[in-house]
Structures are given as C-alpha cells and as structure tokens.
C-alpha cells in the first residue's frame, strides 16, 4: 500500500472525496450543508489534506489553525479502508506534516465512535471537563519533540 498525504490537494481530489462522503456519510449521519461549507472554507485556506493510495484519494482531514495550534475539524476515510490500520498511518503522516508546518499542538473533539477510536489509537490525551461535543470528549496531542517515524 503506497500512501501519501497531500497538503495541497487538487480540486478534483476534494470533489471526489466530498461526493464519497455524501454517499457513505459520517458514521451513518448525513452530511449537513454547514459541514460542506466548513470543508470548502478549509480547502480554500489550504487547511485540507488528502490521503492518497497510489495517487487515488481515499481520505481527508481538515483543520483550523491558531498560530502553532490546530483544531482538527474533520477526519474521514473511505469505509473500505477502515479497520486495517490505514487511519493510524494517516494520522501519523498527517501529524508529521503539521509539525513541518510549525504546528505543535493538536486539539480534537471527536463526534463519532470512529473519531474517538482514532484519538485513542494515536494516543491523544483527554481534556476532562472542557468538552464541547455532545459526548463531552476533547483530546489534545503535543507534537513538538514527538517521534513521528
């Protein structure tokens, strides 16, 4: 499996993944118009990364940057790639790319069981008591000085 993260994806890759997301949804929840608007805004601000397998888009992540901190807004993989360790590889490559862009702290607020699983797999630490999601689970990960191999 030849995986690569593209931090400057094409509009074609973006459109392909949004259509796939419309088809497969977020954990069986339909994609809302405000979600699409946030994703387009992230794409326009170069805060949209695509995971490619042999140059074919198979997943994406979006974030909002605040100086050296990034809030991960969305992370999604095609369903056929879940449960095989691809999400973990994507997370590690994504984190390394953010670190190269001088982002040293990540904050995530998973909205699905998939997101909570990915936060645990990547060893994000829980921020108890300040959760903003319906499950009240916020997580953070310090990237600076981490082994990203």
**In Å, what is the CA distance from 29 to each residue of 25, 53, 60?**
6, 25, 17
Given a cut of 50, the residues of the chain with pLDDT beneath it are: 131-134, 148-149
Nearest alpha carbon to residue 87 among 58, 110, 54, 56? 58
Compute the residue count for the chain. 149
Q: What is the per-residue pLDDT for 108?
A: 83
- Record the pTM: 0.84
What does the pLDDT look like over 113-142, one tens digit per residue? 777 787 888 888 877 655 444 455 666 676
Kind and range of the H or E element at 69? strand 69-77
């Amino acid at each position: 499996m030849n995986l690569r993260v593209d931090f400057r994806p094409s509009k074609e890759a973006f459109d392909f993944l949004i259509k796939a997301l419309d088809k497969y949804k977020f954990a069986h929840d339909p994609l809302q118009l405000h979600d699409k608007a946030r994703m387009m805004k992230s794409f326009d601000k170069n805060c949209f990364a695509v995971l490619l397998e042999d140059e074919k888009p198979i997943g994406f992540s979006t974030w909002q940057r605040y100086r050296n901190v990034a809030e991960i807004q969305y992370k999604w993989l095609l369903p056929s790639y879940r449960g095989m360790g691809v999400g973990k590889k994507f997370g590690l490559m994504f984190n390394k790319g953010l670190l190269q862009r001088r982002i040293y702290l990540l904050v995530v607020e998973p909205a699905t069981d998939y997101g909570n699983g990915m936060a645990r797999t990547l060893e994000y630490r829980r921020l108890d008591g300040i959760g903003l999601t319906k499950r009240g689970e916020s997580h953070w990960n310090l990237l600076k000085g981490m082994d990203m191999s």
